Structure 1
Amino acid sequence: MPLRRAYADTALGQFHYADAGAGRRTILMLHQAPRSLDEFVEVQHELSRDFRTIAMDMRGFGLSAPLAAPQTIEAIAEGVPALLDAIGVETVVLLGHHTGAVVAQEVAAAYPERVEALALSGMPWIGPERRARDHGVGVDDAQTAADGSHLVDLWRQRLPYYPQGRPDLLDRFIRDALAPGVDPAEGHRACARYVMDERIGLVRCPVLVFASSDDPFAAPAVPLVVAGLRGAARVTTAPLEGAMIPAMEQCADQVAAHLRAFLSA
């Protein structure tokens, strides 16, 4: 089903989103840093046969309203109800990947009346130890150079975490990392500052936690995330076999199948 791209005017500025499909439930998709709604093209194609699907450029990313540094997860999350109000959607199922998963969890904690269910992919665990040692820099951190070598730096930093023979996926990442006004590393810094351990227990809706088999950042965190969701109505885990950092592009069929099953349970 074709995607319709549009902008919504809000008090926070304009938000860019892609809308496809129709159905009783709406799934809103939140991307990783420093990506854009492009990360969910394949997933929207899979799910729009059964649901209304909306992928948004989060606040501070893509073509949506900018957000000055230092960014916070809470400020990024404010863009979700702002967009929903602007387009007349009351409640959604939230699907978030990496940074988008952290933002989705905060939305469910801060605005529980807007979130029917939560699906978290590539979700890190951010507790006191990580906040003490991690400033969010490790990937997507390259100083702009006159000879363009920073583009190679950005590519090489991500390359070990992407499937072999898929330079097209890294092309898509580079395009988003270079979006006007976007600092590729700032979203990671926002995650590193977030008090997840104080917020995740406030989630009350049903939660699906994806476990990407080949994601070295998120896979070890799955048990901690599940334990942290102590207030959720129910927590289900689902494997994504072969999934790396670009799990949404790589494994869209698996994501869609697991999410359909979760929402029909």
Structure 2
Amino acid sequence: MNTPTKRAFLDTEDGQILYCISGEGAALVLLHQNFRSIDEFRELIPIFARERRVIAMDLLGLGGSDKPPRMYSVEEYAKTVIWLLDELGIKTASILGNHTGAYIAGEVAATYPERVEKLIICNVDDFNEEEKAAISKEFTQGLLTIKEDGEHLIERWLARASYIGSAELNHRWVLDDMKCFGYPWYAPLAVINYSSSMKERFRLIKCPTLILSGIEDVKQLEKLGFSKADNRRFILEVIPHGKMVEIEGGTICMMNQIPEEISKQVLEFLSE
């Protein structure tokens, strides 16, 4: 029997943040990637909630949270995590972040070490200037532009069709995409701006750290010209005490596609 999940909003000076909470015990915060939402952890939340108090939040500008009044930085997103922990009366928590959420999770651990017990960062890349330019070009060429003929709907449907695995899951991803259309691309820009100081910031991480990397995920980024497999090895240089696990078959959708494998790695790490 699944543990009930409660949804609520956190009021902040920059808008409301949608979050959900489920289970009891030590806290585990889940931070999604761009352009996703809490839905990225739909399959994982009931598994984690058997052993943990699970909190997932929609980042400002994404999902069901409000659009912030300005472009947010990774450092500001990290503050919102602390705001939510304070609201819930949680002094310390473990944090899992995927892609965009991983950079934010790392910044929380670097800036607020007393608040983080253990850290799980998934699919973190170190972008060079050429890759940053490729990402910027992708998003400035109309990815988030609403087109009169609705072509943007088909474009987003086809973007992941070759590897997402099911029409139902693709539908969920496209729904999250559509919530971002017509607005600035908050989270990607935050990550690009943060990447120049990321290594310096991540060197401050001292808590036990698990690093997960989807093998197919990075292959897909390579095809797009956004990153390379070697770009993920940097993390062991800046977090030498971290444990890295490569997930065979793990795509950009791996939180939804292989929750049993992801949860096994995470729960074993948390129980160590």
Amino acid at match of 1:27: L
Q: 2:235 aligns with which of 225, 228, 231?
A: 225
Which residue type is aligned with residue 75 of structure 2? E
Say how many residue pairs are matched: 258
**1:245 and 2:245 equivalent?**
no
Alpha-carbon distance in structure 2 between the residues aligned to 1:202 and 1:241 = 29
The amino acid across from 1:15 in the alignment is I
Q: CA deviation at 1:182?
A: 7.2
Q: CA deviation at 1:30?
A: 0.2
C-alpha distance 144-120 of structure 1, shift in aligned 2 (>3 A): same
Unmatched tracts of structure 1, length 5 or more: none
Aligned-residue Cα RMSD (Å) equals 2.3
Q: State the SS of the aligned residue for 1:211.
A: strand
Asked if the contact 2:72–2:190 (Cα under 8 Å) also holds between the matched residues in 1, the reply is yes
| Aligned amino acid, residue 173 of structure 1 | W
Conservation of the 8 A alpha-carbon contact between 1:226 and 1:235: yes
In 2, distance between residues paired with 1:69 and 1:212?
A: 32
Match of residue 56 from structure 1: 57
User: Post-superposition shift, 1:43?
Assistant: 0.8
1:99-120 per-residue CA deviation (whole Å, 9 max, x = no partner) reads 1111111111121121111101
- Percent identity between matched residues is 33
| Cα distance in 1, alignment partners of residues 118 and 73 from structure 2 | 23
* Aligned mates of 1:106, 1:127 — CA distance in 2: 20
Corresponding residue for 1:236? 243
Match of 1:21 among 4, 20, 23: 23
* Residue in 1 that maps onto 2:215: 213
TM-score, normalisation: structure 2: 0.86
Question: Hey, which bits of structure 1, 4+ residues long, moved more than 6 A?
Answer: none
Q: Tell me which amino acid in the other structure corresponds to 1:111.
A: Y
SS at match of 1:106: helix
SS of alignment partner, residue 203 of structure 1: coil
Q: Distance in 1 between matches of 2:161 and 2:78?
A: 29
- Determine the structure 2 residue equivalent to 1:87: 88
Q: Aligned partner of 2:239: which letter?
A: L
Could you give the per-residue CA deviations for residues 130-185 of structure 1, whole angstroms, max 9, x where no partner exists?
A: 44x3444537924211111111122223334x334x12222111111222677474
Secondary structure at 1:221's aligned position in 2?
Answer: helix
- State the shift of 1:98 in Å: 0.7
Q: Separation in 1 of the partners of 2:31 and 2:188?
A: 15
Alignment CA distance shift 1:175-1:242 (3 Å)? same
Aligned partners of 2:113 and 2:125: how far apart in 1?
21
Q: Against the structure 1 CA distance between its residues 259 and 123, is the aligned structure 2 distance closer, same or farther, given a 3 Å change threshold?
A: same
Per-residue deviation, 1:29: 0.2
